[in-house]
Homo-oligomer: A and B are copies of this chain.
Amino acid sequence: MTILRVLTVGGEEFSVRRARRADVPDMVGLLADDPLGRDREGAEQSAYDAAFSEIDASEEQLLACLTASSGAVVGTLQLTFIRGLSRGGALRGQLEAVRVHRSCRDRGLGGLFIQWAIDECRARGCELVQLTSDRSRIDAHRFYERLGFVGSHRGLKLGLALS
């Protein structure tokens, strides 16, 4: 199991690694433990497992886990690498579904986790890292702005009712 980076916070070590199938329930737990995520999760485990297989098989995606020294999953984020024609045919890295367990917040761990993701995007040749964040997540916007992100865009979404 390849450790992608070790993050040290207050003398405690955390590891970033590629997510494995066995991590899926813990990652879904992190996604659901959130004011907005709470109402969005709760599908069958098989739906999450199928999604994991598809993400894991894609060369354009990297689902990452953050683990404590105990092995417990305490964070997750998803990176998507999108080649475009615009900006001279640039590659962009997109962050989605970023979560750090509430027991591990306010210690700088999240910032180091995102910094790893930014470095991973740079290493793959991305010219841009982008994300959207719900307008209600004021603290998250400040967090990303401290890391250098600029809130230059509006994010618009359209839900599709599946038949």
Contact = CB atoms under 8 A, between A and B. Distances in A.
The 8 closest A-B pairs by CB, nearest first: A153-B155, A51-B89, A43-B88, A149-B156, A132-B153, A155-B155, A47-B89, A129-B158
A107 interface: no
Contacts of A52: 85, 89
A96 B82 contact: yes
Contacts of A121: 160
A151 B155 CA distance: 6
A155 to B, nearest CB: 3
Contacts of A153: 132-135, 154-157
Contact of A133 (B86, B87, B154): B154
A58 to B, nearest CB: 7
A96 B86 contact: yes
B162 A127 contact: yes
Interface of A: 24, 27-28, 31, 37, 40-43, 47-48, 50-52, 54-55, 58, 60-61, 63, 76, 78, 80, 82-90, 94, 96-97, 118, 121-122, 125-135, 141, 144-145, 147-160, 162
Nearest to A89: B51
A162 B125 contact: yes
Contacts of A150: 156-158
A87 B162 CA distance: 13
A58 B160 CA distance: 24
Contacts of A126: 160
